[in-house]
Chains A and B, each alone.
Chain A
């Protein structure tokens, strides 16, 4: 074996390829069923499993130098930070998304037109 590189057996590679095809079929089937709020997390979980298989076996991260794993994990952590902080803003903007024209009426209590002026 050349300077210590792990050669991944053909059997392992074939099994991962089979698993990836199987998960693709599963994701197509589950998408046809209405699971309500669960559809998106399920689709992401299946896609995430496929990504983990590719990263650890096809990209050989499982057999690799640990510093490469650290690099990837840090990258993914920052993607999560990016997503969570952005949604923490965009999900809580209240009525800013309403696009129909409407008249804003001031309530008598909040009205201060002229009241503080001498």
Chain B
């Protein structure tokens, strides 16, 4: 056994086997994530099929332009992550650092847009659950006219789904910050870059969740 190679755990035969085991474990975790969000998507499907006209009307209060902006931002961040994997496999770590920072910036833009969306809703009484009391006029839309039966259900689903998705984005930002310092410190090579690969997989799943949330919440 090579004493210099500290990245290969003694219970694995090779880097290849270690990498494959880690990746399968990550995919299993991602399946549990898919099932977590599936619960919320099923709740969405049930309530939308019960009150389709309410979903249609109330979703007007969400600004599709901000949703589209965030979609593009997340797609761009997925692209930079895919590029960072490409370059870490080639051993060009200075490019990896730049790409991971770009990913982090995209994630931050996403959260800033989300902050403005949420605070815009809260300031006009659009809260999840019992606090729902829309008022005020924004972009020619009189919020008080949206105080209709079952409207709070739509917004409870909206806040819970985008909220839990947003928590995932924040976790991703932490992971990318940590990864960036590790790449900069030279921890990874074409031989060993498992944390970059696994964080990339996680981030792509966060992107996929948003790919479904955007048309289902903003474009009804």
Contacts and interface: CB of A to CB of B under 8 A. Distances in A.
Contacts of B30: 72, 75
Interface residues of A, number: 49
A3 B8 CA distance: 13
Contacts, number: 136
B28 A58 contact: no
B184 to A, nearest CB: 20
Contact of B86 (A7, A75, A87, A90): A7
B72 A55 contact: no
B211 A54 contact: yes
A17 B149 CA distance: 41
Contacts of B201: 59
A74 B191 CA distance: 31
Given A3-B16, A55-B208, A79 B38 contact: yes
B15 A3 contact: yes
Contact of A54 (B27, B78, B215, B219): B78
Which of A4, A46, A59, A78 counts the most B-chain CB atoms under 10 A from its CB?
A: A59
B191 A71 contact: no
B98 interface: no
Interface of B: 14-16, 19-20, 23-24, 27-28, 30-31, 34-35, 38-39, 41-42, 45-46, 49-50, 64, 68, 71-72, 75-76, 78-79, 81-83, 85-86, 89-90, 149, 189-191, 200-201, 204-205, 207-208, 211-212, 214-216, 219-220
28 contacts: A2-B189, A5-B19, A7-B86, A7-B90, A10-B86, A13-B79, A17-B76, A31-B215, A44-B215, A47-B211, A47-B215, A51-B211, A55-B204, A55-B208, A57-B82, A59-B201, A65-B23, A65-B24, A68-B27, A71-B28, A71-B31, A86-B42, A86-B45, A86-B46, A87-B46, A90-B46, A97-B50, A99-B149
